[in-house]
Amino acid sequence: MSTLEKFRLDCRICVVTGGARGIGRAIVVAMLDAGAYVEIADLDARAAEAAAQELRGNGRDIGASGLDVTSPAAVDAYCASVRGKHGRIDVLVNNAGIGRGFVPAETMTDETWRQVMDVNLDGLFYCSRSFGRVMLEQGGGAIVNLGSMSGEIVNRPQEQAHYNASKAGVHHLTRSLAAEWGERGVRVNAIAPTYVETDMTTEFIAREDLKPYWIGATPLGRAGRPEEIASVVLFLASDAASLVTGAIVLADGGYTCW
């Protein structure tokens, strides 16, 4: 197999959580481009189906389902249905995640803290556990987690302890699962992006008061685009990354250099 061929995902069964929009949607597109069969799982079943419909064509077939990653029972049932449909699952991209705004720690409600942890960390664990079991049984697979540079540094000037802590948890969970499952053929990695232009961030990226911190503090001098995250996810999911596991790959425009 040539080096370039190792980046392809022909006939691989790939699941992308939160794949209906934003970074998740760009990941779905990248995987389709690489030849994969993709299953989109999103909180909003109609949004998942709408994204799948938009991307179908050129003979590309895409599955779409509603899934709340915070429900372990729903995750197990969804995983069983994907396995029943395809017989195997090669790649899981844990992309579903939420922000819930800027909140000083001393005024954060239990509800806000819990919501962010539930989706970003607990949900990611439930999906990894469920799909990981299938991958371990079949003797191989790749999991790619959406972490964040917020899991490595504390963003300025906004206060977001809930988000930062959830993503730091994602990074160490990534290393923990990689260590547990490596010998059994399952690779687990994370990508840690900078600010990326999606519905989660557009209004903030445009704010003049944030620009000196968000953009001015980034050596590349700009925010990221979803497809720039998708290409790194594709690499980590593919055989081109066969020696890479437990890695937190920064795609941060250099933000953490300063």
What residues make contact with ligand NDP under the rule CB under 6 A? 17-18, 20-24, 42-44, 47, 67-70, 95-98, 119, 123, 146, 148, 193, 195-196, 198-201
Minimum gap (Å) between residue 252 Cβ and ligand NDP: 9
| Residue 106 vs 199, nearer CB to ligand NDP | 199
E strand or H helix at 92: strand 91-94
Residues 6+ apart with CB under 8 A from 212: none
- For ligand NDP, which is the closer residue by CB, 67 or 188? 67
Total residue length of the chain: 258
| Radius of gyration over every alpha carbon of the chain, rounded to an integer in angstroms | 18
Nearer to ligand NDP, 15 or 69 (CB): 69
Q: How many CB atoms lie within 10 A of CB 122?
A: 18
Name the minimum Å distance from CB 129 to ligand NDP.
15
Kindly name the residue from 163, 195, 213, 255 that is annotated as catalytic.
163
DSSP 117-147: HIIIIIIHHHHHHHHHHHHHHHT-EEEEEE-
Q: In sequence order, which ranges of the chain are alpha helices (DSSP H)?
A: 22-33, 45-55, 72-86, 110-117, 124-138, 161-181, 202-205, 211-214, 226-237
- Tracing tokens 């209004």 back to the chain, one arrives at 203
Q: How far is the CB of 23 from ligand NDP (least distance, A)?
A: 4
Residue among 8 and 49 whose Cβ is closer to ligand NDP: 49
Active site residue 255: no
Q: How far is the CB of 51 from ligand NDP (least distance, A)?
A: 9
Q: Catalytic residue numbers? A: 163
